[in-house]
Structure 1
């Protein structure tokens, strides 16, 4: 961070004392503004978001307390596109509920600003593997939670996934999200959403979210994964010789169907493009240590860095004017 080379930093598990005594005053001298949100209960750590004030203009910052939802019994919190999800591999529905709350808050901020073309960036340790239902929920925009037991949703449970139809507390989930589910019912017909009755009178187990997102780093195991796109295989955390990807940077926009409701499009769009990612020192660390944190590497996760570019594109001429941000 002392290089002062990035426009924004998203930190998790940052101790509140360290934020106030060290990080905030130091980065303020470097020209960064910040916001910190401590976890609820007796936890002393939280999430922090730092932004270079000469580059980033903050319109609104909101924090999310997940425990205010009746379905989520955790002390986790979120800031804008920075989140801290429950680690337990058996709490798949809790993770989906936390993501839904965060994405709904982001959608609300965008719509209040009357700018539905606003890009959205979501980053954090999801405590979920690349091919898990949690990650597919973000990339595919919706998932059917009845297709597997809750313990398998994060991809951390070993063994073959049982086949069958699983309830997974969907009724309780629907009650907790009833206000927003009712709003979705009044929108365009996009198929059965969570909380809506299907043709046979049962509650739909499909949970959707309003954004079309993609990962800045290639998702391992996908059609555009590292092995198929010429990128090096990588991991983001390394414990007890197990190397896994559980940290992500996603970006995108409200889905086209959502944009069509209250679009303010006037013939010109500003699109966010991912230009490049930082190289992760996976190979070097694999040779020098048996797990993280290590003597010369103080964190148990690697830092992800993506360079973005804002592109203004006219609808007819397709002329581009670019501005880069990191």
Structure 2
């Protein structure tokens, strides 16, 4: 399950976007209770969340998820923003091998001047064998991110995605060196539609720059992932 849960701070900062909504449904406690019900209904083995407000994560979400049998990793956005990303997995279904918390803010690089973040987590699947848990199947690289929203800065989104894919690639290669296969699940809010070049890069491994507007991408090459 992957879910952008809308940080309350962002909701209140951009209230004009929700004028069509009754005030009571915008209340955090109302939304939180529905979110917990949704998670309990589907009981996903893996849960990736975006726009997770840090204090709400610490005070509400994390305790509830732990009680449901999840282990969680959280990364708040850099800068002054109060939200971030979380990855959660059922402790009875996976064992944690390692993880990396990514920060996309690189002031020395012109395009990477935004405070988005990501998490890349390596898991080993488990199966129950009597009262014990046994390792089963290939490793799983689980990644979660929330790319920049600005619809006119496709170049920034592409640069952020490149960092994410590079980290995933490094994890997969490190597994191969050890003789282990690694599957990949990439989740997130990419602020992109299925017909956009960014999405096509993720699903096909190719990105065509030729003739694209500058606000989407800014060069004239074909990139192979």
Q: How does the TM-score come out when normalised to structure 1?
A: 0.47
- Paired with 2:76 and 2:224, the residues of 1 have a C-alpha distance of 28
Q: Confirm or deny that 1:138 pairs with 2:178.
A: no
3-state DSSP of counterpart to 2:95: coil
Q: Specify the alignment match of 2:94 in structure 1.
A: 56
- Paired with 1:104 and 1:147, the residues of 2 have a C-alpha distance of 26
**Is the CA contact 1:47–1:79 (under 8 Å) kept in the aligned structure 2?**
yes
Q: Which has the higher helix share?
A: 2
Distance 1:93 1:75, change over 3 A: same
**Is the CA contact 2:155–2:216 (under 8 Å) kept in the aligned structure 1?**
no
Distance 1:99 1:19, change over 3 A: same
Q: Specify the alignment match of 2:182 in structure 1.
A: 118
Q: Which runs of 5+ in 1 are unaligned?
A: 154-167, 171-203, 210-326
3-state DSSP of counterpart to 2:74: strand
CA RMSD of aligned residues (A): 1.8
Q: Which one has the largest radius of gyration?
A: 1
Q: Specify the alignment match of 1:99 in structure 2.
A: 161
Q: Which runs of 5+ in 2 are unaligned?
A: 1-38, 121-142
Q: CA deviation at 1:4?
A: 6.5
Distance 1:46 1:82, change over 3 A: same
Distance 1:208 1:93, change over 3 A: farther
The one of 22, 44, 53 equivalent to 1:15 is 53
Q: CA deviation at 1:151?
A: 2.5
**Is the CA contact 2:153–2:216 (under 8 Å) kept in the aligned structure 1?**
no
Q: How does the TM-score come out when normalised to structure 2?
A: 0.66
Q: Which has the higher strand share?
A: 2
- Paired with 1:147 and 1:116, the residues of 2 have a C-alpha distance of 41
3-state DSSP of counterpart to 1:49: strand
- Paired with 1:32 and 1:4, the residues of 2 have a C-alpha distance of 14
